[in-house]
Amino acid sequence: MPYILLTGGAGYIGSHTALELLNAGYQVLSFDNYSNSSTEALNRVEQLSGKSIVKVTGDIRDEAALRQLFSEHQISAVVHFAGLKAVGESTQLPLHYYDNNVAGTVTLCRVMREVGVKKLVFSSSATVYGDAKQVPIPESAPRSATNPYGQSKLMIEYILQDLVQAEPDWGMTLLRYFNPVGAHHSGQIGEDPNGIPNNLMPFISQVAVGKRSSLSVFGNDYPTPDGTGVRDYIHVVDLARGHVKALQYLEQHNGIEAINLGTGVGYSVLDMVKAFSTVNQVAVPYQIAPRRPGDIAVCYAQPDKAKRLLGWQAEHSLDDMVKDSWRWQSQNPDGYKQA
């Protein structure tokens, strides 16, 4: 049976997707340079599934390594997670972000084209909607970006659209993730950020476990019900299952489709803090801090297209998200590092 290649397969979303793919009967090959992950995540996926993963260390910008990868393994489709994702860092290191994300994707597509593998699921982001004028946000909303990370995702979307336009025998989905949170129900795999977390949920979890003293809530003067930012948080296992559905869709379809993966429901920062502390019976001290530059007030998905095209919709509740985040964090206070 051919492999599904996961670039960045050891990362947060990649590892959860690897598990769902194995559970659905696919064979998985991960290609990762471990710049933001470790092999331990994949070892745990193997334990959870009772199946093995082929793990290759390499960089998507390394054309020779990719050629070798495709020549040594029969690959039917690629799920392309590999990339850098820290918004703040991207403003400091724009060339690094464009090189990794944009040049890396171009190199990957060049090699895929050469070897005739033309099915690609790409990790895009709700960041491509910029500060959307209307919520819920449909896939047809105008696109824009305000930082190099967002620009890199936008550029890749344009590049992939041009490629499919030129060569209609490609099949691609641009999966626009909203805010992935949570962890596998086992507590064995989860998000393991380096240093101070940029994102809300890992920050809350680290405060709850005592690694950080309190959460700064970035702004309480937004035009939202409680004044704090509203986002569409989606359980990472739901998100992972969306990739399985996208691959099944590509088995039947060519062309390119942008598809939101979100729940369609928005929660505020204070909703998240409250849910986390109430459901898990743990204190999450916080204080109100100034707005974070570049943040928007409200962002949530119009998720109907995923249901219509992929037969997918989010199934996990907010309680599941905060419970599973806490199970992972409390069982692995130092992430994969203690292993």
Catalytic residue numbers?
A: 149
Distance (Å, whole) CA 103 – CA 68? 19
Under the binding rule (CB under 6 A), the answer on residue 143 touching ligand WQD is no
Binding site for ligand NAD (CB under 6 A): 7-8, 10-14, 32-37, 59-61, 81-85, 100, 104, 123, 125, 177, 180
Between 273 and 312, how does the x/- string for binding to ligand WQD read (CB under 6 A)?
-------------------x--x-----------------
Nearest-approach distance from CB 175 to ligand NAD, in angstroms: 8
The answer to whether 7 and 180 are in contact (CB under 8 A) is no
Name the H helices within the chain.
12-23, 39-49, 63-72, 87-92, 94-97, 104-115, 148-166, 200-208, 236-252, 269-280, 304-305, 318-331
- In the complex, the smallest distance separating the C-beta of residue 199 from ligand NAD, rounded to whole angstroms, is 6
**63 touching ligand WQD, by CB under 6 A:** no
User: Would you count residue 85 as binding ligand WQD (CB under 6 A)?
Assistant: yes
Name which position in 80, 119, 184, 231 contacts ligand WQD (CB under 6 A).
231
Pick one of ligand WQD, ligand NAD, none as the site partner of residue 60 (Cβ within 5 to 8 A by kind). Answer: ligand NAD
Q: Dihedrals φ, ψ of 336, to 5°?
A: -85, -5
CA angle 143, 201, 47 (to 5 degrees): 105
Rounded Cα gap, residues 221 and 225, in angstroms? 10
Q: Residue 176 and residue 182: Cα distance in Å, rounded?
A: 18
Number of residues counted as binding ligand WQD (CB under 6 A): 18
Any contact of residue 267 with ligand WQD (CB under 6 A)? no
Residue 220 lies near ligand WQD (rule: CB under 6 A) = no
Using CB under 6 A, pick the residue from 229, 242, 266, 303 that binds ligand WQD.
229
Which of 39, 144, 161, 216 binds ligand WQD (CB under 6 A)? It is: 216
Q: Which of 248, 268, 206 is nearest to 121 (CA)?
A: 248
Least distance in Å: CB of 10 to ligand NAD?
A: 4
Pairwise CA distance, residues 202 & 268, whole Å = 16
Rounded Cα distance between 114 and 102, Å, is 18
Alpha carbon distance 91, 86 (integer Å): 9
Choose from ligand NAD, ligand WQD, none: what does 22 bind? Cβ within 5-8 Å by kind.
none
Under rule CB under 6 A, residue 174 binds ligand WQD: no
261 binds ligand WQD (CB under 6 A): no
Contact 137, 126 (CB under 8 A): yes
